[in-house]
Structures are given as structure tokens and as C-alpha cells.
């Protein structure tokens, strides 16, 4: 049979692809959704893993994979649920602001099939930085845009500039500022009304399609009350996430500065390249983190005073996660979206600093 399509066949197939794209509502898709091959011809077990706040993300991404969506399109549409949720104060709209009360968002992504990456840092006024990172990947010869330039880029693609500081996030920031210094001009908020722990939060999502294609994305509002302009590991390709379509993908949540120093996303994928299972690869990267941690970040027993988690999938669809202390992660492995216990290094967390 000839492999050359007739004009009528080409137009018909294009129409089907466009209809599927519209049905899935994927902005700027990496490719139109296409029918899956028979299960007997699948090259991998489809799977989606995410941080524990990504239960809805893994469900959405897995559903899209089963409709033939591209691996990165599925991951991005999954994490956008959290980016658009005002009740998640660690990601996107509603994220806790920096020390000046301004929400600055970071995100990065990698697309295994095309070997491309995109990222944005210190992005203000745009709810879904993961989408902007995908546009950097798809439409530019660059990888990383930051600050005002990243926002102008997003506006050129018709993103809407909005106030990202919700009333809840504003109140939390005002309470933090009031209790920052007992000698400043603000009255301290009663202890019962003020958060004792400085929150961190992020969402990472890694996908494997039935064809064995892999992608990853990490998006965050960063460390609450950070120094303006601070960028953590999330938008740094090789730290907050990393993908090699021949091997797998890995990403992280937690203390970004500690992850940056070990290039944790890349290192975890390299551990898998040498034959480690995903969870073991995550644990090995965490051991490197501890080894490179400064003394001020360790307790008297040598345990970190912070937490960090890694999530990983390999090209076959095997998955795993690990954290410094007991934690959970979200996964859809073809049965259902569920939370699972991650492997960990230490039984109980040390006090935060």
C-alpha cells in the first residue's frame, strides 16, 4: 500500500486532528491528539506521577494520554488545575507573595520527543506560567525568559495580565510582615493567628505515553515571602525537572536552593540511565543533597532541617518517589489516581529553620 496520502485523506485526517484538539481544549498543542495504537503494540505502560497536591493533575493528564494527547500537553494541562486554583497558595493564582507582597511565578518544562525545553522565572501577572514555559519551548530559540521580558512575551500570545494576589494570600503576607520584627512599626499579630511555619510548595508532573514518550513540568509560586527576584529550582532545567526521552524524567518539590546545587532532576535521570529503579534513583539524589548541605542546615544528628522530594518515571512506565522525611505523592498508573507513600531517608523531620 502506498504511504503517500491523497489530498482528500490529508484533509480528512487534519480535520480529525483539529476536532480532537478542540475537544481537549489544548492551547498551542505540541501536536494534535491522535488515536492510540492497539494495546498489544504499546511500547510502555502509560503513567503520570506528581507531587501530593497533584491528584487532580494526574487524573487529567492520564485521561488526555488515553485520548492520544502529546505527553507535554497532558502534563501542562494537569498542572494548570493547581495554577488556576486560588485555594492552592503554593502554585499560580493564589500563590503566596514575596517579601514585598508581589506574586512571582516560576516554571519549566521539557518535551522528550523533540528534546526541547522552556522556562520562565519571576513572572508577574500571568496565572499559568507552565503554559508560558511551553510557548518559550515551542516558539523561540531560547530556553529561559525572566521578569518583565517573560511577561511581555506572554502578553504577545494573548495571555491576560491579572492580579494574582488573592485576599487569603494578602492576609497571610500581612500577618507574616507584622510578626517579622517586634521593633518595627507594625503591631504583632497574635501567635494563634499567624503561621508558625514558612510555607513552601510546588507541583511537578511527569508523563509517559503508551508510545514511550516522556515529558516533565514543574511550576511554583516559590518560597513564601522570598527576597524579590529570588528564583528557586523549579524553572531551572536540570534541577526542578529534567527529561531524556531515551531514559525517563524526574522533578522535585521542596527547598530549591538545596536541589540546585546537585542538579537533582538531571542527576536522578542519570541514576536511572545507569540502571536504577525510579525510587532508588530519587533516594540516591537525596543522599547527595545531604552530603552537600551546609552545617547550618543540618541538626545535631546530621539530618536536614528542610525537606525535599523527588519524583521519577522511566521510559517503560515504572515510577517512584522519595523524600528526606515521610511523604506522599500522586500517581495514575492505569488503575486510578491515588496517593502513595514515598520512600524516605529519615524517620522524623528535624525542626525547620
Whether residue 3 is contained in a domain is answered as: no
Residues 215-222, mean pLDDT to the nearest whole number: 97
Distances (CA, A) of 181 to 177, 185, 321: 8, 9, 38
Please count the structural domains in the chain. 1
What are 74-87's pLDDT values in tens digits? 999 999 999 999 99
The pLDDT tens digits for 163-187 are 999 999 999 999 999 888 666 555 5
Indicate the range of 65-69, 196-200, 269-273, 276-280 predicted with least confidence: 196-200
Task: Identify how many contiguous H helices and E strands the chain contains and give both numbers.
Answer: 9, 13
Does some domain include residue 1? Answer: no
Look at residue 192 and tell me whether its pLDDT is greater than 60: no
Domain assignment present for residue 10? The answer is: no
* Confidence band for 11, pLDDT divided at 50, 70 and 90: very low
pTM of the model: 0.89
Which residues are the active-site residues?
A: 202
In a domain, 295, yes or no: yes
Is the model's pLDDT at 34 over the cut of 50? yes
Q: What is the pLDDT of residue 181?
A: 67
> Given a cut of 70, is residue 295 above it in pLDDT?
yes
Alpha carbon of residue 147 to chain centroid = 19
Tell me which residue has cell 529553620. Answer: 353
- Tell me if 110 is assigned to some domain: yes
> Among 17-21, 87-91, 203-207, which is the least confidently predicted range?
17-21
Q: Domain span at residue 137?
A: 45-344
* pLDDT at res. 201: 73
Q: What does the alpha-carbon distance between residue 271 and residue 9 come to, in Å, rounded to a whole number?
A: 45
344 has pLDDT over 60: yes
CATH number at residue 172: 3.60.20.30
Is residue 350, in this structure, part of any structural domain at all?
Answer: no
pLDDT digits (tens, 9 = 90+) for 16-32: 444 444 457 899 999 99
The confidence score (pLDDT) of residue 1 equals 36
- CB 306, CB 313: distance < 8 Å: no
Amino acid at each position: 500500500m502506498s504511504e503517500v496520502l491523497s489530498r482528500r485523506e490529508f484533509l480528512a485526517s487534519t480535520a480529525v486532528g483539529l476536532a480532537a484538539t478542540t475537544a481537549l481544549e489544548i492551547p498551542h498543542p505540541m501536536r494534535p491528539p491522535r488515536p492510540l495504537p492497539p494495546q498489544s503494540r504499546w511500547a510502555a505502560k502509560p503513567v503520570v506521577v506528581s507531587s501530593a497536591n497533584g491528584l487532580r493533575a494526574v487524573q487529567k493528564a492520564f485521561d488526555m494520554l488515553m485520548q492520544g494527547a502529546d505527553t507535554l500537553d497532558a502534563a501542562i494541562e494537569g498542572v494548570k488545575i493547581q495554577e488556576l486554583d486560588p485555594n492552592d497558595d503554593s502554585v499560580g493564582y493564589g500563590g503566596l507573595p514575596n517579601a514585598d507582597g508581589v506574586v512571582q511565578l516560576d516554571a519549566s518544562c521539557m518535551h522528550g520527543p523533540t528534546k526541547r525545553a522552556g522556562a520562565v522565572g519571576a513572572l508577574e501577572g500571568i496565572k499559568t506560567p507552565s503554559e508560558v514555559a511551553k510557548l518559550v519551548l515551542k516558539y523561540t530559540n531560547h530556553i529561559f525568559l525572566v521578569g518583565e521580558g517573560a511577561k511581555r512575551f506572554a502578553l504577545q500570545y494573548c495571555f491576560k495580565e491579572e492580579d494574582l494576589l488573592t485576599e487569603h494570600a494578602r492576609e497571610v503576607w500581612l500577618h507574616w510582615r507584622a510578626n517579622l520584627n517586634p521593633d518595627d512599626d507594625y503591631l504583632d499579630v497574635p501567635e494563634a493567628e499567624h503561621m508558625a511555619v514558612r510555607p513552601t510548595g510546588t507541583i511537578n508532573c511527569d508523563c509517559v505515553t503508551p508510545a514511550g514518550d516522556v515529558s516533565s513540568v514543574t511550576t511554583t509560586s516559590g518560597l513564601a515571602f522570598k527576597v524579590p527576584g529570588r528564583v528557586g529550582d523549579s524553572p531551572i532545567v536540570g534541577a526542578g525537572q529534567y527529561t531524556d526521552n531515551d531514559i525517563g524524567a524526574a522533578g522535585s518539590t521542596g527547598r530549591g536552593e538545596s536541589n540546585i546545587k546537585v542538579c537533582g532532576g538531571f542527576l536522578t535521570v542519570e541514576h536511572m540511565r545507569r540502571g536504577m529503579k525510579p525510587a532508588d534513583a530519587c533516594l540516591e539524589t537525596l543522599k547527595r543533597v545531604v552530603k552537600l548541605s551546609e552545617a547550618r542546615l543540618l541538626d545535631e544528628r546530621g539530618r536536614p532541617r528542610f525537606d525535599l522530594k523527588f519524583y521519577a518515571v522511566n521510559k517503560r512506565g515504572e515510577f517512584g518517589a522519595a523524600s528526606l522525611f515521610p511523604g506522599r505523592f500522586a500517581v495514575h498508573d492505569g488503575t486510578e489516581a491515588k496517593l502513595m507513600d514515598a520512600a524516605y531517608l529519615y524517620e522524623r523531620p528535624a525542626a525547620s529553620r
